Amino acid sequence: MTRRRLAELLILVVMAGSCWTGSRAGTTQVQVTLPVPERIDMTGIDSILVTRVVLMNDNPKVDINRETVSHLRREMKKQTHLHVLDIEAPPLPEQPLDELARNADFWKDMSSKYGADMILASSLKYEITDRSSFVTEDVISPVTGQRVRRTRYADREGFAMEFHVYFLRGRDGALLYDDKFSEDTTLEGKGNDPLTALFTMFEHIHPELFGIISSNQKVESRILFTE
Amino acid sequence: MLSLPAAALAAENAKEQMDFGVKAAKKGLWREAAFRWEKALKLDPRNPRIINNLAVAYETAGQFDKADQLYRQALQVDPGNRDIKQNYDLFTSYFKQIQARQHPVPPAAPAAPAADTEPAPPPPADDSPPPR
């Protein structure tokens, strides 16, 4: 009995130790807002031009190019201080974008033609696949009230995107930064709206994407001593 | 009335400044907090708790080198302090992310076009070829 009570007491002590998360005496936890600077030097850059998106595959259902350009422009207006040029997105020549991105003269000419301090060019691969399959799940039986395991066929669609962005400086056509973002999501059912799925995935990459050209903030916690 | 010895008086003032700084920080007034903790530190220069608080204030101001230096100094004075260590670990992780952001890609030199590929045409005019 004594041994058992001792064991119980020991468990309580260990549990209390592991659950303790509050501040120690003489300290207080505060939330601090920390600056996150933009990735590239934006000195002298006020305006940006979005080119047409180079599509890596066909999507017959929707005009991905037009929708993506509109989305990028709209979000850049909201999330950065840049003046987004409101003109028809210029198309790009038939050349791999990786190569074209290093053709400084091309971007310099484009920039002076449209009066842009910066150009955003991008390529997008957007795939929709059928991910329907049999799934096993636990459900509560309405008859017996017991938990039962069952297998059913679930309709699902998979959406995957690879978005490669290139930021080019207008005055000399230099490639300042490029990055590739990948997102993948599976939605229940069939006939999900491909644009909604695409923009939902874009929303996930917004902080990183716009953090390239715009400073940001993040909140963390720190401990201060009060005595 | 007997006057307090100078050291005790300084410690008392340092504590007042420390308290004032904490109150300011809790209201988000980090510049005021830093000012108070600077004053406290002048009165009590080897107090690791004041040094820690000041480091946090410098972090919020984006003065990361100064914050780093202060955290190290606080840990040098009180190496076993878990709270300072925790702050420093969090700061280091954040600071590494910031440093990585600022040097992610080397500036790209314009590549010479390959011999067997056509150079890119000039920017598209209104009669340019159809886009992809």
CB neighbours (10 Å) of residue B35?
Answer: 16
A198 close contact with B: CB closer than 8 A: no
Question: Collapsing DSSP states into helix, strand and coil, what is residue B106?
Answer: coil
Nearest to B122 among A26, A34, A109 (CB): A109
Q: How large is the greatest C-alpha to C-alpha distance in chain B, in angstroms?
A: 96
> Which domains, from first to last, does chain A contain?
39-225 (3.30.160)
Confidence (pLDDT) at A13: 45
Closest C-alpha among B86, B83, B90, B45 to residue B64: B90
pLDDT averages per 10-residue partition of chain A, 227 residues: 56 42 77 90 94 89 90 95 94 93 96 96 95 92 90 94 97 96 95 94 94 91 94
Identity at A151, one-letter amino acid code: T
CA B73 – CA B47 distance, rounded (Å)? 10
Positive or negative torsion for Cα A98, A100, A104, A107? negative
Q: What angle do CA A206, A71, A59 make, to 5 degrees?
A: 105
CA A100 – CA A122 distance, rounded (Å)? 11
pTM: 0.69
CA B55 – CA B72 distance, rounded (Å)? 9
Q: What angle do CA A84, A90, A96 make, to 5 degrees?
A: 115
| Chain B environment of A34 (Cβ under 8 Å) | 59-60, 62, 94
Who contacts A35 (Cβ-Cβ below 8 Å, separation ≥6)?
Answer: A215, A216, A217, B62
Nearest to B101 among A37, A95, A110 (CB): A37
Tens digit of each residue's pLDDT (9 = 90 or more) over B41-88: 999 999 999 999 999 999 999 899 999 999 999 999 999 999 999 999
CB neighbours (10 Å) of residue A33?
Answer: 11
Instruction: For residue B82, give the H/E element and its range.
Output: helix B82-102
CA A192 – CA A54 distance, rounded (Å)? 24
- Residues B122, A33: C-beta atoms closer than 8 Å: no
Q: Which ipTM did the prediction report? A: 0.75
Tens digit of each residue's pLDDT (9 = 90 or more) over B85-124: 999 999 999 999 888 876 555 444 444 444 444 445 545 4
> Which domains, from first to last, does chain B contain?
6-101 (1.25.40.10)
pLDDT confidence band for B39 (50 / 70 / 90) = very high
Contact A78, A205 (CB under 8 A): no
Positive or negative torsion for Cα A203, A206, A207, A209? positive
Window 25-44 of B: residues touching A by CB (8 A cutoff) are 25-26
Contact A182, A170 (CB under 8 A): no
A208 close contact with B: CB closer than 8 A: no
